[in-house]
Amino acid sequence: MRPITLYTANCRGNKFNVCYPVKREIASVEDLREAVRYDQVFAEYRDHHRAVADFIRSDCLPFDCDNDHSDEECEWKTAADVEKAFPGVPFYLVYSRHHMAWKGTRSPRPRFHIIFPIDPITNGDDYRMLKESVMAFFPFFDTGAKDAARFFFGVQDPVIELHGGENNEP
């Protein structure tokens, strides 16, 4: 799989943080495991300031699947469902900090992040539109996470899966 680039904060679990100064080049599951211990973004921003207006570039598309679309276990989505929807497309799967745990009033269920490598994009609107097109195709990703300045919380002990494929476009 082609390398991707993440930027991390120097903290974990701070929803008010907007500074992501640590560039992380990801070429392996181990690289990603170290990076996602910290809150992370999937784009470079001017002065490391996470904001749509400060978007510079990205080489990956992140998605969040909390399985909030149903309380029926048989309807919850898994990595196999993502593979089926995007045959041959490689991606990383990172189980979120609420994987198989209560989240608010929602029962334990699979919760994970998907990261697709893409050709670099340097326009924030194009990036958002690409994310929207993927979400329209697979509507189980969190639609609140489609802007070009989305961050994901870090995970203390991340569990990561690499799903291979030959196609490089979601």
Q: What percent of the chain shows pLDDT beyond 70?
A: 97
Instruction: Give residues with Cβ within 8 angstroms of 28, minimum separation 6.
Output: none
The torsion angles phi and psi of 30, rounded to 5 degrees, stand at -65, -40
Domain coordinates in residue numbering, the chain? 4-163
- CA 114, 18, 109: angle at the middle one, nearest 5? 35
Average pLDDT, the chain: 95
Residues 166, 91: Cα–Cα separation, whole Å: 11
Q: What is the mean pLDDT of residues 71-79?
A: 96
Question: Count of CB atoms within 10 A of residue 167's CB?
Answer: 10
Q: pLDDT tens digits for 106-160? A: 999 999 999 999 999 999 999 999 999 999 999 999 988 889 999 999 999 999 9
DSSP annotation of 107: P
